Amino acid sequence: MAVTPATREQPAIKGGKPVRDTLLPYGRQSITEEDIAAVVAVLRSDWLTTGPKVDEFEEAFAARVRASYAVSFSSGTAALHGAVFAADLKPGDEAITTPLTFAATANCVLYQGATPVFADVDETTLNLDPEKAAKCITSRTKALLPVDFAGHPADLDAFLALAEGHGLTVIEDAAHALGAEYRQRGVGGISHMTVFSFHPVKHLTTGEGGMVTTQNAKFAEKLRHFRNHGISSDARRRQSEGQWHYEMVALGYNYRLTDIGCALGLQQLPRLDANLARRRKIAKCYNDAFDGLTGVIVPRVRDDVNHAWHLYPIRIEANKFSAGRGELFRALRAENIGVNVHYIPVHLHPYYRDRFGFRGGEFPLAEQAYEEMISLPMFHGMNDQDVSDVIHALRKVVHAYAR
Ligand SMILES: Cc1ncc(COP(=O)(O)O)c(C=O)c1O
């Protein structure tokens, strides 16, 4: 891959020519003509929602991640809510999670009237640290909610051991980690419940959508009721059996994923391996290109995982530059590289500060990581020129601001 060597080029933010003429986003879906045809076929069929495509997608997905059950939801957030419900979290209960995640991970605990308890991250992987989580376990703890940050699986065996010892449920937020592996086992078949998101920037999309996978029949049944108003049978079965009777057995929601979305997901699933291979190749190009680049720390990966690379967050060593992370971020944007930041720690959002009294400083590793991180573009549709542009732009900006 031809990458312009490090030079003293004038950065675009200071009037130089940008590396690209158009913005390269940090993440993006890929849709083929076959995907479009599959969606159109559903539009011409009898079932737009909760029809045959839902069952087909759930079965194919469960087989892919080696889970006994897969229950689809209208979003990853709805799927998280379903998992927290299935784990029986109620007011007075607590779930331990990481502050370095999208707010939905913690919000779902609040939806059930329970309390999210944050523990700091592991310095290497930036995933919830099992030892710090263990210190937060009380008689009120019902669930552990690790997140596979950026696509790097959390230390699942450690969380399962903790759960075993304390009678807890492990709900893994794998919104970033479809296709990742932990100790040679696929994410989705390991935790008590694993939650995926099919938002367009993820490895597979249904527009909006999500899934919970589990090996536990009871969880699967509760998840199915919950996503359908708490009703114990579905409309298609009632129609085929020619009967009208149904019973609402729990307070649920309408969190159903449509046949339209499931047809898209079914089409995309067989491309997952190629998609992962491309992301892994891009990560390797970035790792090689940034090896030894002053002030830039590339993501660290444990030996016992196979990363899914939803995100590629670098860390900036502030003392090596004449400007802070914010200025470097803006400089990369000026080069038309669509960088992003993942994540503002959840406890620092005004809602969490106001409700729980967080002031900053509670979770120093997560907070420091947030201050230093920049997510570079990472999606399977990036071509070699896109990857070269990112490398060129980062080198250009680093050299322009290096002390
Ligand atoms: C870690 C994490 N959890 C949950 C979600 C929520 O998923 P969705 O956007 O499908 O509701 C996201 C979405 O980006 C996420 O990144």
Query: Is 127:149 a contact under the CB 8 Å cutoff?
Result: yes
Output helix, strand, coil percentages for the chain, rounded to the nearest 5: 40, 15, 45
Task: Output the six-digit token pair for 23.
Answer: 């913005």
* C-alpha span between 206 and 167 (Å, rounded): 35
Q: pLDDT tens across 321-359, in order?
A: 999 999 999 999 999 999 999 999 999 999 999 999 999
pLDDT category of residue 2 using cuts at 50, 70 and 90: very low
Helix (H) or strand (E) holding 356: helix 350-356
Terminal CA-CA length for the chain: 29
Whether pLDDT at 294 is above 90? yes
pLDDT category of residue 7 using cuts at 50, 70 and 90: low
Q: pLDDT tens across 121-135, in order?
A: 999 999 999 999 999
Q: What percentage of the chain exceeds 70 in pLDDT?
A: 98
For ligand 1, atom 16: residue with the closest CA: 102
CB of 105 shorter than 6 A to ligand 1: yes
Q: Which amino acid does the sequence have at 165?
A: G
CB of 151 shorter than 6 A to ligand 1: no
Q: Which amino acid does the sequence have at 71?
A: V
| Ramachandran angles phi, psi of 206, nearest 5° | -125, 25
* C-alpha span between 204 and 279 (Å, rounded): 13
CB of 206 shorter than 6 A to ligand 1: no
Q: How far apart are the CA of 21 and the centre of ligand 1, in A? A: 30
Q: How far apart are the CA of 102 and the centre of ligand 1, in A? A: 6
CB of 175 shorter than 6 A to ligand 1: yes
Q: pLDDT tens across 179-203, in order?
A: 999 999 999 999 999 999 999 999 9
CB of 213 shorter than 6 A to ligand 1: no
* C-alpha span between 321 and 358 (Å, rounded): 30
What does the pLDDT read at residue 232? 83
Q: 305 in helix, strand or coil?
A: strand
Index of the ligand 1 atom closest to the CA of residue 199: 10
**For 29, which DSSP code?**
-
Q: 326 in helix, strand or coil?
A: helix
Query: Is 246:232 a contact under the CB 8 Å cutoff?
Result: yes
CB of 148 shorter than 6 A to ligand 1: no
> Is the pTM value of this prediction over 0.85?
yes
Which of the listed residues 74, 199, 202 should we mutate to test ligand 1's pocket, taking the one with most ligand atoms within 8 A of CB? Answer: 199
Task: Output the six-digit token pair for 215.
Answer: 């090996």
- Say how many CA atoms lie within 13 Å of 363 toward its Cβ: 30
Q: Which amino acid does the sequence have at 18?
A: P
Mean residue pLDDT across the chain: 96
Task: Output the six-digit token pair for 92.
Answer: 């007075």
Index of the ligand 1 atom closest to the CA of residue 208: 10
What does the pLDDT read at residue 320? 96
Q: Which of 202, 218, 281, 320 is catalytic?
A: 202
Query: Is 360:367 a contact under the CB 8 Å cutoff?
Result: yes
Q: How far is CA 230 from CA 76, 107, 255, in A?
A: 19, 21, 10
H and E: helices and strands count for the chain = 14, 13
Burial environment of residue 339 by CB neighbours within 10 A (0 to 12, 13 to 18, 19 or more): buried
Instruction: Name residue 297's beta-bridge partners.
Output: 315
